[in-house]
Structure 1
Amino acid sequence: MSSRQRCLALALALSIASSAAAGADTRPLAQRLEQIREVNRFVPERAMPMLLAIEQEGRAAPLELRIEFLNQLSGGYDGLGKLDEALAVAEELVALGRRHGHNGAMAKGLLRKAYMAYRHAELLDSHQLTWEAERLANLTDDVELKVRATIAAGDAFTEQGNFPKALERLQSAAALARKHGDPTQIVMSLNALIELYGQMREYDKGFETLAEAVAAAEKAHSPGRMSTLKHAEYSLAAATGQYQRGLKALLDSLAIERSIGADSMVAYTLVNLSDCYLKLRDYVNAAAYAEQSIVAARALNDAGLEATGRLNLGQAYLATGRLVDGKRHIEAGMSAYENLGDQPELQSVLVEYGQALERAGDLPGALRAYHRERKISNELFERRRQRAVLDLQEKYETEKKQRQIELLRSENEVNSLQQRIWWLLVAVFALASVVVGLLYRKVRHTNAQLHEKNKELKQQSVRDPLTGLYNRRHFLDYMRTTPQAPVQAGPDQCGALFLLDVDHFKHINDTFGHAAGDAVLTAISNSLGEILRETDMIVRWGGEEFLAFLPSIPRSGLDEVAQRILSGISAVAVVHGEHRLAVNVSIGFAPFPLSCGGLVLPWERAVNMVDMALYMAKSHGRNRAYGVQGFADAGQVCMEDIEQNLEGAWRAGKVKMSVVLGNQASAVQAA
Structure 2
Amino acid sequence: MQPAVVSLCILVSALITFCGFAYESSEQIQRNLNALQMSAEQDYDLSLLPDIRALREQARAQGNKPLQIKALLLEGSIVQHFGDFEDGLNLHQQALQLAEADNNTFLKANTYLAIAHLDIDLESYELAQRYLDKASLLAEQIDDNAQIKADISLWQSRLNMDKGAYRLALKSALVPEVSGIRQETLAQLKLTRSWAHLQLGEYLPAKQILDELDNAGYLVQNQRMRIMSAVQRARVALQSGDFATSIDLAQAGLRDTLGTRFLLFQSQLQWILASAYAQLGDYQQAHRYLKRYAVTEQSLNLQKRNNKLLKLEAQYSLAQQKQALNELERDNAQQAKQIMAHQQQIENARLSQQRWLLIALLAFTLVLVFYWRWQNRRYTKLLESQVAQRTEELAERNKRLQTLSFTDSLTGLSNRHHFFSMIDSTIEVHRQKWQVPQRQQSADLIFVIVDIDHFKNINDSFGHAAGDIVLQDFAEILKQCTRESDILVRWGGEEFLLVMPDMDRAAAHEVTERIRRQVESYPFVVNDQTINCTCSIGFAPFPFDPTQPDKLSWEHVLELADGGLYLAKESHRNAWVGVHTGEEEVQSPAEHMVQNLRSYLQAGKLKTWSNLSDLIYVCNTR
Shorter-chain TM-score bucket reads 0.3 to 0.5
TM-score by length of 1: 0.39
* Structure-2-length-normalised TM-score: 0.42
Please tell me whether Structure 1 or Structure 2 has the larger radius of gyration of its CA atoms.
Answer: 2
